[in-house]
Chains A and B, each alone.
Chain A
């Protein structure tokens, strides 16, 4: 199956700093990538939809100035958590759909555990 690589897998940062998370589709092109957030023992909540070459679409309640998304190429989307605070600590997961035709399946990255201290 298609591979989505997410980096880093774990990151610890100080409160007030910014953290960038990368999501790459390794063997396919993805015009659309999705960013999810998962709190402990809870389901995935869609944060935003990242579209290559255009602005991301954010879900209601998600601060676009705090969670900056850039989708500069067909294989890379980045999520930057700006001025991170402890309440931003969470598990962030990206997914991507294959532009080439397998549009019914989304492939997920391995996730990033963010801890803000």
Chain B
């Protein structure tokens, strides 16, 4: 069984400030790791993912996440946030073997303040 913990339910931050959204996971087997973003009343959009290889992965809109196996973490970071980054962010994990079901964390509401 696997689980995902997002320690921060809400993260308020001022525009242009850096942000880190924390994600820790537990699993007895190899996993794939994902970050999804959800805007109000919308479905989820994939932000970035770690499958293998380089432990640092980046999205096209400036977010990055680093897979840390020893700390079982996959924290999401952005050096300078925009108002438009305000959304709910979900960390998720899937078994790398079957790569089918996703287990989600409880989500972090990022609110960027002007």
Q: Which residues of A contact B (CB under 8 A)?
A: 1, 4, 6, 9, 32, 34, 41-44, 46, 49, 91, 93, 95, 97, 103-111, 113
Query: Measured between alpha carbons, how far is A65 from B46 in the docked complex, in Å?
Result: 32
Contacts of A111 on B, CB cut-off 8 Å?
Answer: 41-43
B94-112 contact mask (Cβ, 8 Å, vs A): 1 or 0: 1000011110111101000
* Residues A44 and B90 in contact, CB atoms below 8 Å apart: yes
User: How many B residues touch the partner, as a band?
Assistant: 20 to 34
Q: Among the listed B32, B45, B102, B106, which residue makes an inter-chain contact with A42, where contact means beta carbons less than 8 Å apart? A: B106
Contacts of A1 on B, CB cut-off 8 Å?
Answer: 46
Contacts of B100 on A, CB cut-off 8 Å?
Answer: 32, 49, 97, 103
Contacts of A110 on B, CB cut-off 8 Å?
Answer: 42-43
Q: Which residues of B contact A (CB under 8 A)?
A: 9, 32, 36, 41-46, 49, 51, 90, 94, 99-102, 104-107, 109
Main secondary structure of the interface of A (DSSP, over half): strand
- Residue in B closest to A49 when the chains form the complex, CB atoms: B101
- Residue in A closest to B42 when the chains form the complex, CB atoms: A110
* Residues A44 and B51 in contact, CB atoms below 8 Å apart: no
* Residues A108 and B101 in contact, CB atoms below 8 Å apart: no
Q: Among the listed A9, A34, A108, which residue makes an inter-chain contact with B45, where contact means beta carbons less than 8 Å apart? A: A108
Q: Among the listed B45, B51, B107, which residue makes an inter-chain contact with A43, where contact means beta carbons less than 8 Å apart? A: B107
Contacts of B49 on A, CB cut-off 8 Å?
Answer: 104-105
* Residues B99 and A103 in contact, CB atoms below 8 Å apart: yes
Query: Measured between alpha carbons, how far is A9 from B40 in the docked complex, in Å?
Result: 12
Query: Measured between alpha carbons, how far is A97 from B36 in the docked complex, in Å?
Result: 15
B42 to chain A, nearest CB (A): 5
Query: Measured between alpha carbons, how far is A43 from B46 in the docked complex, in Å?
Result: 15
Query: Measured between alpha carbons, how far is A97 from B94 in the docked complex, in Å?
Result: 13
